[in-house]
């Protein structure tokens, strides 16, 4: 939603982005007795009880489990971009990270993409 709002400047996307950001801030863990959890997000959440939740179908996962990869980093990145008042595309517009791609592509002997 953040990138869609930045690309279109559309109120529909901006409103949806704002609501998602507000939700993630509200659903963030506040755990004075467990500082190791404070500030993270549980992988399971009950919207009606506004509390962490898990079921017996979550084999191997408890209600207090936290996935620290895909979800945490995306939320934090978008919140940081919002704070910086920029988008990923604007932030990387002048990035030169790809300037050496062809040389590394050959050196690593990577296959060409199929068209």
Name the residue range of residue 7's domain: 2-107
pLDDT in tens, 7-23: 999 999 999 999 999 98
- Asked if 40 and 68 count as a contact pair (C-beta separation under 8 A), the reply is yes
Sequence-ordered alpha helix ranges (H) in 1-115: 2-8, 11-26, 70-84, 88-91, 101-107
- Asked if 114 and 31 count as a contact pair (C-beta separation under 8 A), the reply is no
Rounded distance, CA 58 to CA 56, Å? 5
- Asked if residue 84 is part of any domain, the answer here is yes
Rounded distance, CA 115 to CA 113, Å? 6
Q: What is the pLDDT of residue 51?
A: 72
Query: pTM here?
Result: 0.67
Average pLDDT over residues 78-85: 96
- Asked if residue 49 is part of any domain, the answer here is yes
The residue ranking higher by pLDDT, 96 or 114, is 96
Domain count, the chain: 1
Average pLDDT over residues 25-48: 82
* Strand-pair partners of 16: none
- Asked if residue 115 is part of any domain, the answer here is no
End-to-end CA distance of the chain: 29
- Asked if residue 113 is part of any domain, the answer here is no
- Asked if residue 34 is part of any domain, the answer here is yes
């Amino acid at each position: 939603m953040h990138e869609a709002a930045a690309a279109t400047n559309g109120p529909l996307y901006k409103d949806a982005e704002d609501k998602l950001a507000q939700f993630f801030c509200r659903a963030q863990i506040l755990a004075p007795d467990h500082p190791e959890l404070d500030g993270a997000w549980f992988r399971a959440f009950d919207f009606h009880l506004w509390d962490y939740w898990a079921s017996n179908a979550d084999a191997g996962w408890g209600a207090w489990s936290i996935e620290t990869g895909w979800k945490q980093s995306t939320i934090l990145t978008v919140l940081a971009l919002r704070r910086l008042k920029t988008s990923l595309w604007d932030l990387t517009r002048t990035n030169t990270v790809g300037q050496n791609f062809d040389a590394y592509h050959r050196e690593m002997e990577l296959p060409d993409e199929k068209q």
